[in-house]
Amino acid sequence: VFSTKLWWIMLLTAAALTSLGALPVLLVANLGEEIPELDVAGPALLEQVWSTMGSAAIIAMILGILSFTSEYRHETITDTFLTEPRRGRVVAAKAAVNAVLGAMVALVSAVTVIGLALWLLPDGHAPIDWSYVVRIVLAVVLTDALYAILGVSVGALITSQLAAVLLALLWVLLIEGLIAAINPTVGKWLPGGAAQSILGGQSSGVDLLPPVAGVAVLLAYTVAVGALAASTTLRRDITCR
């Protein structure tokens, strides 16, 4: 992971993506100083600001995907499986390392949002409940770690780097949102809905799963995709050109 520049480039990307989520909320809050009727500096605004810490979960997933697909792309997977023929151990090792990377993405996102909030929140905003902020940070760390592990499973299943990354982006940024908009009850059982439930809140007026259930759902998706990869992709012979 640390032998290339990719890890810190992705962390910078996570900071940029998180900023894009937090800045509009904070800019509207500053607009509220001129339009008092908006009441955008209340507790609800702060909760919305802190929720943007989860904006970069897709970066954690992509890091997990790249941990497997990069090996197939650069043909190092043969050496990896010759060094450790028990492929399940390879998957477990990659999952553990990428869980740490996912936590790093979450911490970068949290620092970004807290820094922007302290800089841009208007005067007279509601008091910051730092115990609540800490809970959200811990929830984001857990969510991003799980997303990274899910990315490892997806990368193990879909060995093509381009296809796996495009599929992840389409799912997170488009397909899942459409499903949740059409049927919010189904949406809360999807990975994004499970992630929201870990952070707490509501989606389209539908109560989300309890946080513990959200963790269980994300783990279930990870295990299911990983099991499918173990029974298909990971059982195939690996050959070099």
The pLDDT tens digits for 100-154 are: 999 999 999 999 999 999 888 877 777 888 999 999 999 999 999 999 999 999 9
Range 217-238 average pLDDT: 86
Reference 21, options 129, 119, 117; nearest CA is 117
Most confident of 21-35, 142-156, 172-186: 142-156
Residue 35 has pLDDT above 60, yes or no: no
**Region 28-40: what's the mean pLDDT?**
61
Buried b (16+ CB within 10 A) or exposed e, 205-221: eeebbebeebbebbeeb
Whether 190 shows a pLDDT value over 80: the answer reads: yes
Indicate whether 2 pLDDT > 90: no
Higher pLDDT, residue 236 or 172:
172
What gap in Å lies between CA 159 and CA 91, rounded to an integer?
Answer: 13
The model scores a pTM over 0.85: yes
The predicted structure's pLDDT at residue 120: 85
**Percentage of residues in the chain having pLDDT higher than 90:** 52
Q: Determine the Cα–Cα distance for residues 27 and 134; give it in Å rounded to an integer.
A: 23
Q: DSSP alpha helices (H): ranges in the chain?
A: 6-31, 43-51, 57-73, 77-83, 87-120, 130-157, 161-170, 176-182, 184-187, 191-199, 211-231
